[in-house]
Structure 1
Amino acid sequence: MNIAQWLYQTALARPSAPAIKVGAASFCDYVRLARRAQALSRELAGRGLGQGDRVAIFTANCAEYLEMIHACWWIGATVVPINYKLHPREAAWILEDCTARIILTRAGEMADKGLLPQGCTEITIDSDDYRGAVAADAALKQPPSLPADAVAWLFYTSGTTGRPKGVMLSHGNLMAMSFAYAIDVDRIEAGDHSLYAAPMSHGAGLYALPYIRAGACHVIPESGGFDPAEIIALAGDPGGLCFFAAPTMIKRLVTAAKAVGYAGQGIKTITYGGGPMYAADIDEALALLGPRFIQIYGQGETPMTISVLPRDLVADESHPNWRARRASVGYAQAPVEVEIRAPDGGCLPPGKTGEIMVRGATVMLGYWNRPEATAETIVDGWLRTGDMGHMDVDGFLTLTDRSKDVIISGGTNIYPREVEEALLMHPAVHEVSVIGTPDPEWGENVVAFVVAASCATCDASTLDGWCRSQIAAFKRPKRYIFTDTLPKNSYGKVLKTELRDQLETGAIEAPPN
C-alpha cells in the first residue's frame, strides 16, 4: 500500500492528460509528472535515502511540489511539509526534531544562513542539479509496496501553545482521507481543475491525492497563494475550478467579486474549513456566488476528516432546522465515528456541550517521538480533539470553541464564537476575534478585537449597545480593542495566542469601556 501507486496508475492510464498548470500555462502532463517524480526519487536514493527516512519540503506553492512529494513516496521515504511562512530558524528546529536527511527549498534558504543541522543536506529546486535530476527520462517502474502503517506525511502542528509536534500520518490514513473526499465531499471529474490557493504544506496539498487518482489537473496560481482577482481570472479559463479556502479567504473573495460583478462562473467547488465560518459570511457568499460551497471540519491529527456539510445542505433553506444546520460543521465523515464527551469521559446526549472525540481510519498514528503527548491525545483509540461542541439528534455537529479558548467568567462558560457571531451582524464590523483575559473578581473577562468595515465609524459604546440587544448581558465584551488587522496564520486562521500575548506584554492598551 503506497499512495504513489495512484500517480503511477494515472500516468499509465491517462499519460497525456494535463497534470499541472502554472496559471493558465501548461507545466506537464501525467506521464511527465510521474517520470519527473521517479527521476527525483532515484536522485534521493543515490544519496542513500530509503524507506522511513525523512525529507522536508520548505517552499511556497509551486509546480514542483507534487513531484517532490511523490519522489519521496517512490522510495518509501516520509514527507515533512514545512509551512513556508515559518522563519528559517523555526524550520531548522523541525529538521533537527525529525532528523531529516534532506530539505528541498526554492533558493537555498537554509544552508546560506548556516541553519542546516548536522547530517541534513539542502537541495535547491531552482538549481541546475535539480533540473538535471528530474529531466531523466526512464521508463516508469512501479513504486514499492509499503505497509499500510508506513509514515507518509509528518506534519508539524502550528505550535501556538509551545513547540510544534510532528503528526504521523500513514499511507493508510491518507488513502482513507481520499476515499472520504470522494464519498462525502465532492465528485471529481477528469476535466476538473484543483487550484492551490491555500498552502500545499497543509490540507490543501493532501487534497491533491484524490484529484491525482481521478486524472484531474492541478493549477498553481502564478502568485503562489491566495489572490482573489487572480482566482476570478483563472476561473474563466479552464472551468471546473475546485479549491480549499479558509473562511477569511472566502470573505476576501466575496469582497473582490462584488467589486467587479463576478458571480462564480467557472468555479465548481469551494471547500471551506480551518476556522469559524460565520453565518453572515456564508449567507452573503451563497447569495453572490451560488451553491458552490462545501464545509469540512478536521485537524492535522485526522486530516480534513471529522465532519462534512455537503453543498446541498449548505445551500438548503427548506428544512425546518436549516439555519442551525448551516451553522454546524455537518455530520461525521464516512471513515470516522464522532462522540461528545464530558470531562469524566462519559458520552453526552444531544444538545450537551463537551469535547469532540474521533475514532477511525484517518486518525494519526501518534506524535513523532512524543509518547506522552500521544497517550494524552489518543485514549482507547479515540482522538481528543481539544475542540468543544454539541451534536443534535440528527447527528449534526456544532462547534463552540477550542477547549482552551472557552472563557469562564463568574463560573459560567462563554463561547467566543457566539460573541463573534453577534458582533459580525453589526454593519460596522468587518472582522472580530474574542478572547478571555484574567480578572481577579470574575476569573476572566471578555475582550473583543475589532476590525471596522471600510468607511465605517465604530466605537465601543455602539457595539456594547448592539451586544446587549443580541446576547445575554454577561456574555458581552468588557473591552473593545480596535485594530487595522488581526494576526493570522498561512491558512487565514486568527491567532488568538498572539492577541493574548499582545495584551499580556502591554503591546496593546486595552482600557475598560
Structure 2
Amino acid sequence: MNLAHLLVRAARGGEDRPAVAHGSGIVATYGSLARRAACLAASLRGSFGLNPGDRVAIAMKNCPEYLEVLYGCWWAGLVPVPMNAKLHPKEFAFMLGHSDARLCFVTADLSAGIQGESADLGDLLEVIEVGSSSYRRLLRDDPMAPAECALDDLAWLFFTSGTTGRPKGAMITHRNLWTMTSCYFPNVDAVAPGDAIVYAAPMSHGAGLYSLPYMAQAALHVVPESGAFDPTEFIGLMGIHQGLGAFFAPTMIKRLIKHPSAGSAPIENFNTLVYGGGPMYLADLKQALKVFGNRFVQIYGQGESPMCITSLTRALHAESDHPAYEARLSSVGRAQMLVELRVADEEDRSLPNGEVGEVLVRGPSVIPGYWKDESATARTLRNGWLHTGDIGSLDEQGFLTLKDRSKDVIISGGTNIYPREVEETLLRHPDVAEVSVIGRPHPEWGEEVVAVVVPRSREPLSEEGLDRFCLEHIARFKRPKHYCFVETLPKNNYGKVLKTDLRALIL
C-alpha cells in the first residue's frame, strides 16, 4: 500500500486542519498539502514521463516544500532519494549517478553546485529549484489519484553516511516504513491530533522518516525558519505550538540543555524528544532529564531497519528507583513490537545473556538489500538476519546495551576493549568536555588505547591526572596509554564523531 495514503486519509479527515507551519505561521492545510502533492505527482508522471519506480533526488535543506516533494513522489509511485543538504557537490553527483535519478529537487542554496556537478549525468532530466517559476508550473497540473504500490516496492533510497568509504544505498520499502510507523505508537510515542513535530534535524534522515507517524495522526509539521537546529529558535517554538515532539541527535540535546534559556523554557508545551543516531552518555542524559523532565525516548535503528530496532520508553526513563536504573539508561532499550533481536558470535550462534557479540535483527522493518550492491547485501543480510555491525549484549529482561561498532572495538593483548566504556569514564571527569577513544597499532600488544580529549577550559589537563582518574573507575588494562588534546572532535553532519579522521590524526 502506498505511503501517500497517510496524506490522503489526513486530508479526508479535515481539509482545513493545519498541516505545515514555517516557524510560527501556518503555510498549508491538509487539503492544500494533499492537492499540491497530487498536482506535483501528475506533473512528474505527465510532463516528465516518469514511470513508477523511477528515482527522484531531493537535495534540500529543511523547508515547507520538503513534505510536498516527498509525498508527491510517493503519490506518483516514484522513489524519493533524500540527500543530506550539507554534502559536497561531488558527493551529490555520486548519489545522483549511482541512483540513476531522473530529476533532482533543490533549494536555492544548493542549485548552482548541483547543476555544475550533474551536467554529465545522462539519466538526469532536470534540476528543479523549489519556489522557482519552473517549480510553480509543476503545481498547475490537474491532480492525479495516488499510484498503486505493493508493500515490497521501493519507497526511499537511503544513502548511508559513508564515514568509512563510499555510501551504500539502503533500499527501504513501503513495508519497511509502514512497519516503522506501526511500531512508533506503542513503542515510542502516542501522537494525538493537534500535536506537532518540529524538524530541527535533517528531513533527509530520521526527522523526515518520523513525518509518517505524525502524518498518520494529522498532526502539525513545523519547519523552523532557519531550516536547521538553533536552540534559541527551538525554545521559541515551544512557546508557540502545542504538544511538540522532535527527533534529535544526542549532540543537539547537549546544546539545548546548555542554552541559557533552557531552565525557563515553556516545557508544558513540549511532549516528547526522541533521541538516537549516536551514543547518549549517561551523564548527559541525567542532566537532560533534570532540565526538561521526563520527556525523553531513545530509539536505536539503522538505515537498514529505519528508526526501528529498539526503544527506551518515557516510562523507563522515569523509573529512577529501579535497582538497574542506570544500567537501563545506558542501554538502548528493548526490541520494538515487530522486531526480533539477538546477539551472536562470529558463527551467527546466539550468545547467552550478558555475553558480548554482534547485534542481529530480523523482521518486516529490515530492508531487502542495497542498491546495485549484491556483495554488500550478501554480507549484511546473511542467514535471514540483518548484521548491524554493532557490538552489544542483552540482559534477562531484553535490554540491549551497545558497546561499539565492531570496527571500533580495540583488541589489546588479545582482550577486547570497548571505547564507549572508557569514554563514559572520562566524561565523568569535571575538566573533560568531550572525548573519543580509538585504537592505535602497537608492535607488542596489537593495539593500544588512545583518548582524544576536548578540555572543558583552556587550562591544560594532566595526563597523569586523567590516568589516575581512570584507574579509580575501570580496570588497568582498559585505561588509555596516551592522551591527545584537541579543541574540537571531527564530526559528520549528524554529530557523529569521525573516528577515521581521528585515526589519521594520531597515526
Secondary structure, counterpart of 2:464 in structure 1 = helix
Q: 1:454: Cα distance to partner?
A: 4.0
Q: Which deviations, in whole Å up to 9, do the C-alpha atoms of 1:177-230 show, x marking residues without a partner? A: 001111210000111110111111011100001101100001111111111111
Residues 60 and 107 in structure 2, CA contact (< 8 A), matched pair in contact too: yes
Secondary structure, counterpart of 1:367 in structure 2 = coil
1:369-388 mapped onto 2 (5 Å cutoff): 369-388=372-391
Of residues 122, 125, 136, the one that matches 1:118 is 122
Secondary structure, counterpart of 2:52 in structure 1 = coil
Residue type of the alignment partner of 1:39: C
TM score, norm. by length of structure 2: 0.96
Name the structure 2 match of 1:88.
Answer: 89
TM score, norm. by length of structure 1: 0.95
Separation in structure 2 between the aligned mates of residue 128 and residue 424 of structure 1, nearest angstrom: 52
Residues 6 and 212 in structure 1, CA contact (< 8 A), matched pair in contact too: yes
Name the structure 2 match of 1:233.
Answer: 236
Q: 1:455: Cα distance to partner?
A: 6.1
Name the structure 1 match of 2:188.
Answer: 185
Name the structure 2 match of 1:35.
Answer: 35
Name the structure 2 match of 1:7.
Answer: 7
Residue type of the alignment partner of 1:56: A
Residues 188 and 211 in structure 1, CA contact (< 8 A), matched pair in contact too: yes
Residue type of the alignment partner of 1:96: G
1:197–1:454 distance in 2 versus 1, CA, 3 Å: farther
1:436-455 mapped onto 2 (5 Å cutoff): 436-454=439-457
Secondary structure, counterpart of 2:346 in structure 1 = coil
Residues 428 and 457 in structure 1, CA contact (< 8 A), matched pair in contact too: no
Q: Which deviations, in whole Å up to 9, do the C-alpha atoms of 1:118-171 show, x marking residues without a partner? A: 22021111311102322x385x65312211110000001111221111000111
Name the structure 1 match of 2:503.
Answer: 500
1:16–1:258 distance in 2 versus 1, CA, 3 Å: closer
Separation in structure 2 between the aligned mates of residue 114 and residue 340 of structure 1, nearest angstrom: 43
Name the structure 1 match of 2:396.
Answer: 393
Separation in structure 2 between the aligned mates of residue 257 and residue 398 of structure 1, nearest angstrom: 33
Name the structure 1 match of 2:299.
Answer: 296
Separation in structure 2 between the aligned mates of residue 315 and residue 485 of structure 1, nearest angstrom: 33
Name the structure 2 match of 1:507.
Answer: none
Q: 1:272: Cα distance to partner?
A: 0.5
Residue type of the alignment partner of 1:413: N
Residues 88 and 109 in structure 1, CA contact (< 8 A), matched pair in contact too: no
Q: 1:502: Cα distance to partner?
A: 2.5
Secondary structure, counterpart of 2:306 in structure 1 = strand
Name the structure 2 match of 1:278.
Answer: 281
Name the structure 2 match of 1:222.
Answer: 225
Separation in structure 2 between the aligned mates of residue 262 and residue 238 of structure 1, nearest angstrom: 13
Residues 5 and 142 in structure 1, CA contact (< 8 A), matched pair in contact too: no
1:6-405 mapped onto 2 (5 Å cutoff): 6-45=6-45, 46-107=47-108, 108-110=111-113, 112-116=115-119, 117-120=121-124, 121-134=126-139, 136=140, 138=142, 141-257=144-260, 261-262=264-265, 264-405=267-408
Separation in structure 2 between the aligned mates of residue 431 and residue 132 of structure 1, nearest angstrom: 49
Residues 181 and 210 in structure 1, CA contact (< 8 A), matched pair in contact too: yes
Of residues 419, 435, 440, the one that matches 1:432 is 435
Secondary structure, counterpart of 2:259 in structure 1 = helix
Residues 263 and 288 in structure 1, CA contact (< 8 A), matched pair in contact too: no
Q: Which deviations, in whole Å up to 9, do the C-alpha atoms of 1:64-101 show, x marking residues without a partner? A: 11111111111111111111111011110111111110
Q: 1:293: Cα distance to partner?
A: 0.3
Q: 1:381: Cα distance to partner?
A: 1.5
1:102–1:141 distance in 2 versus 1, CA, 3 Å: closer
Name the structure 2 match of 1:509.
Answer: none
Separation in structure 2 between the aligned mates of residue 221 and residue 480 of structure 1, nearest angstrom: 40
Q: 1:109: Cα distance to partner?
A: 3.3
Name the structure 1 match of 2:493.
Answer: 490
Separation in structure 1 between the aligned mates of residue 28 and residue 261 of structure 2, nearest angstrom: 34
Secondary structure, counterpart of 1:256 in structure 2 = coil
Separation in structure 2 between the aligned mates of residue 22 and residue 421 of structure 1, nearest angstrom: 38
Separation in structure 2 between the aligned mates of residue 261 and residue 8 of structure 1, nearest angstrom: 39
Separation in structure 1 between the aligned mates of residue 262 and residue 323 of structure 2, nearest angstrom: 34
Separation in structure 1 between the aligned mates of residue 41 and residue 112 of structure 2, nearest angstrom: 22
Separation in structure 2 between the aligned mates of residue 68 and residue 426 of structure 1, nearest angstrom: 47
Separation in structure 1 between the aligned mates of residue 474 and residue 115 of structure 2, nearest angstrom: 55
Separation in structure 2 between the aligned mates of residue 181 and residue 306 of structure 1, nearest angstrom: 11
Q: Unaligned regions of 5+ residues in structure 2, if any?
A: none
Residue type of the alignment partner of 1:16: D
Secondary structure, counterpart of 2:112 in structure 1 = coil
Separation in structure 2 between the aligned mates of residue 259 and residue 197 of structure 1, nearest angstrom: 16
Residues 90 and 117 in structure 2, CA contact (< 8 A), matched pair in contact too: no
Secondary structure, counterpart of 1:118 in structure 2 = coil
Separation in structure 1 between the aligned mates of residue 277 and residue 326 of structure 2, nearest angstrom: 21
Identical aligned pairs, as a percentage?
Answer: 51
Matched residue count: 502
Q: 1:457: Cα distance to partner?
A: 4.8
Q: 1:380: Cα distance to partner?
A: 2.1
Of residues 423, 427, 431, the one that matches 2:426 is 423
Q: 1:495: Cα distance to partner?
A: 1.5
1:257–1:399 distance in 2 versus 1, CA, 3 Å: farther
Residues 199 and 490 in structure 1, CA contact (< 8 A), matched pair in contact too: no
Separation in structure 2 between the aligned mates of residue 51 and residue 449 of structure 1, nearest angstrom: 49
Q: RMSD across aligned C-alpha pairs, in angstroms? A: 1.5
1:308–1:111 distance in 2 versus 1, CA, 3 Å: closer
Separation in structure 1 between the aligned mates of residue 296 and residue 82 of structure 2, nearest angstrom: 27
Name the structure 2 match of 1:508.
Answer: none
Q: Which deviations, in whole Å up to 9, do the C-alpha atoms of 1:341-370 show, x marking residues without a partner? A: 011111001000000000001000100011
Separation in structure 1 between the aligned mates of residue 44 and residue 462 of structure 2, nearest angstrom: 59
1:482–1:356 distance in 2 versus 1, CA, 3 Å: same
Secondary structure, counterpart of 1:366 in structure 2 = coil
Residues 232 and 257 in structure 1, CA contact (< 8 A), matched pair in contact too: no
1:267–1:259 distance in 2 versus 1, CA, 3 Å: closer
Residue type of the alignment partner of 2:304: E
